[in-house]
Structure 1
């Protein structure tokens, strides 16, 4: 792995080669590349994008990518949906699910993806989709690329071995990986099966949020992001190339592995991040800060401070604020929140929200601690306490998230989710103290 000197798209180039001298020095594309390789550029932004947001990498590969696609044929993946999606005929309301069941047949990562929510417009390159996967087989002699958006992958159980064009990332629970738009990859399962979440970001690439008054440190630090070293395959065996383009799916047959990049340099590349290196900040005297202080990555829009997608985590941390209600308060929000739980327990939900599960609180629907969580937090000893052994996250977007038909029909959907607030009592009795009996 190579440490990031800065996040992708912020100017710095990375370089790596799997064979000595494979990466030309002093000229991007010499007349004849070393080892008989082909030079090509992979661009993740417009050529004329400002330098700080310009994303591109130079690849030196055994065959040019025009030999890696063949003749595409249309294929069906009915459970992977793209926005805008008609969605389910569900009454408006808060939603929560237990983990998706494991498949009974061998199912690789690509076949395992199931869409839970969609928002925005994939063709218009705004918004996102939230997916889950429960895979029991490795991809073999096949690769996939997504022209509609980058993939933020959040493992919850089992490791993923991501062999991308630019190298290999092995990602475990409490780590994440981001695979850029258009980049080929193959997914293997070192542990035999794996389950987790995927955010398909149609909009601007994810990057680090500005820290503002926090200053130069804390939250996610650039040095903790890792890029892969070059690792190529020179295999003359039949392969299938799968593609997603404008919400549709295609496949093509070729006679070799397309994961053949021997050397590369640039800033358009996959990366991983260990969520356990996130340095949270919080209230150390009173009141409850906004959850935006837990933002790891953001996909910005042209409206300052308003994200296409935010990736937010709720990691282990000290709870310190005095004379304050410490869990999230009850709120309604212009942002739509898809939440998942990697491990442990989320402090605002005492029951029903389990690792591998998920919830959706979409545009302007109220939510907050369940009855037991409220009672516990209202009577807690307000000494410093460590919230430990937990990791929850949110895919949060300014656009309303719509539930898919698949998600609405899941046997693990909790029809009684709203009942978790039914026990919240009227405590107003006309006195300043209220009725707390």
Structure 2
């Protein structure tokens, strides 16, 4: 695609903040003054509103209205049977998407889905728009150069990006083949969790979230997949509103933890949440387990054994997960359905119950995460029958020693 020169020399300029009102323009004066829909917009642009909810909306000032496209057609994706990156198979971000499981109904705007992607090539003259829900993208290998209607976003491993429902985007692969995880929510939008007794500071700070700066393409190149058009969909010259894609660096997460005994509930590791109508549960939580100090005394320090009212899908971006060292690899994933018992493996248990409880570090050079949901995920046939599925996962707990002694207090 050819690209018009914008007023910003850096295509990856960002604006700080989360959930507030933002504005950006690639040409000076492109944003109308005093109203959203003047009879004639500056530069001869067209005003178009993108609505996420009744109270989350953004005005786009673009060269072509989005309606200027041909009729939709069906599309089929090539099959892939590998969680590893298929070096010989030409897959881009969209054709390389595979669904692990999900729950709910997109037509009712209720539920979620968990996906993975493995991509070997950039999207060439192709764009994607998800009308079902918001996408939270977690790259595990290789950066993603995400072109959106709002401007470009570069997302590296250990960062996340959220692309909301209805936003058109295209993904390039500046580092070559890439893979990662995706959490899709149908109900609402991701937001910061309520901090409650924590107060004003901690967890993910609003100022560390970044939205893109406007940068437009004005080209007559034909592009599309299921819907062809003779111009770029990324022709937005200016925008303002509170409904915009954003990125976040997980290294900025401010960990809250116990400094005396026992564990704080894992909800303290929540980066973003999509709330449900039921207090104490969520459509989806995005939770991380960053490097941190552990200092609890008289405490079993690893994640404790538990059965949860939520379903837990866990992934590893890099490093070695503290509760299954050597048994859980970067790029892998585990799913514990609601009320399914799980916890640290036998080796971790042995070490945790015999070691001296000195202050120390945990999870250095590691970033594990969890998609957690109140819904029971239905696993796809593709995931169940995948050749890399671990059928011996249960063996991680079989050698936990039984130390019960009714005569010992």
The answer to whether structure 1 residue 328 and structure 2 residue 266 are counterparts is no
Deviation at 1:202, TM superposition (A): 1.0
* TM-score normalised according to structure 2 size: 0.94
Which consecutive unaligned segments of at least 5 residues does structure 1 have?
Answer: 47-53, 81-97, 242-250
Q: Which residue of 1 aligns with 2:5?
A: none
- Tell me whether 1:273 sits opposite 2:248 in the alignment: yes
Alignment of 1:84-123 (within 5 A): 99-123=83-107
Question: Residue 79 of structure 1 contacts residue 113 of structure 1 at CA under 8 Å; is this kept in 2?
Answer: no
Q: CA contact under 8 A between 2:275 and 2:283: conserved in structure 1?
A: yes
CA distance in 2, matches of 1:38, 1:258: 13
Q: Deviations over 1:166-199 (max 9, x none)?
A: 0010000000000010100000000011111011
Deviating more after overlay: 32-41 vs 421-430: 421-430
Contact 2:85 2:120 in 1 (8 A): no
CA-to-aligned-CA distance 1:355-385 (integer Å, 9 cap, x gap) = 0000000111000001011111112221111
Shift of 1:309: 0.4
Q: Tell me what 1:424 maps to.
A: 400
SS of residue matched to 1:65: coil
- Decide whether aligned partners of structure 1 residues 79 and 287 sit closer, same or farther in structure 2, where only a CA change above 3 A counts: farther
Can you list the C-alpha shifts for 1:373-406, whole angstroms capped at 9, x where unaligned?
Answer: 1111112221111111110001100001121111
Post-superposition shift, 1:425?
2.1
**What residue is the counterpart of 1:415 in the other structure?**
391
Aligned to 1:402: 378
Question: Aligned residue for 2:175?
Answer: 191
User: Counterparts of 1:431 and 1:277 in 2: how far apart (Å)?
Assistant: 49
Kept in 2: contact 1:337–1:360 (CA 8 A):
yes
1:41 aligns with 2:49: yes
Distance 2:301 2:78 in 1: 42
Q: 1:356 aligns with which of 331, 340, 347?
A: 331
Partner residue, 2:223: 239
**Residues 159 and 248 in structure 2, CA contact (< 8 A), matched pair in contact too:** yes
SS in 1 for 2:95: helix
Taking the TM superposition and a 5 Å limit, the aligned residue runs for 1:275-314 are: 275-314=250-289
Q: Is the 8 A contact 2:15 2:213 kept in 1?
A: no
Cα RMSD of the aligned pairs, angstroms, is 1.5
Say if 2:45 and 2:63, in contact at 8 Å, map to a contact too: yes
> Over residues 29-79 of structure 1, what are the superposed CA-to-partner deviations in whole Å (9 max), with x where a residue is unaligned?
111111110001111003xxxxxxx10001000011111x42001223487
User: Are 2:28 and 1:28 equivalent residues in the alignment?
Assistant: no
The alignment partner of 1:276 has SS state of helix
SS at match of 2:132: coil
1:176 maps onto 2:160 in alignment: yes
Aligned equivalents of 2:261, 2:405: Cα separation in 1: 26
Q: Structure 2: which 5+ runs fail to align?
A: 1-12
* Equivalence for 1:255: 230
- Equivalent positions of 1:91-170 (< 5 A) are 99-170=83-154
Show the counterpart of 2:59: 58
In 2, distance between residues paired with 1:286 and 1:310?
26
TM-superposed CA distance for 1:106, in Å, is 1.9
Q: Distance in 2 between matches of 1:349 and 1:32?
A: 61
Cα distance in 1 for partners of 2:405, 2:279 equals 44
In 2 relative to 1, CA 44–26 (structure 1 residues): closer, same or farther, beyond 3 Å?
same
- Paired with 1:269 and 1:171, the residues of 2 have a C-alpha distance of 15
CA contact (8 A) 1:312 1:394 kept: yes
* Structure 1 position 22, deviation (Å): 0.8
Q: CA deviation at 1:103?
A: 4.5
CA positional deviation for 1:102: 2.7
Q: 1:431 Cα deviation (Å)?
A: 2.8
CA contact (8 A) 2:187 2:283 kept: yes
Instruction: Find the partner of 2:206 among 217, 222, 233.
Output: 222
Q: Secondary structure at 1:142's aligned position in 2?
A: coil
Preserved CA contact (<8 Å) 1:103 1:136:
yes
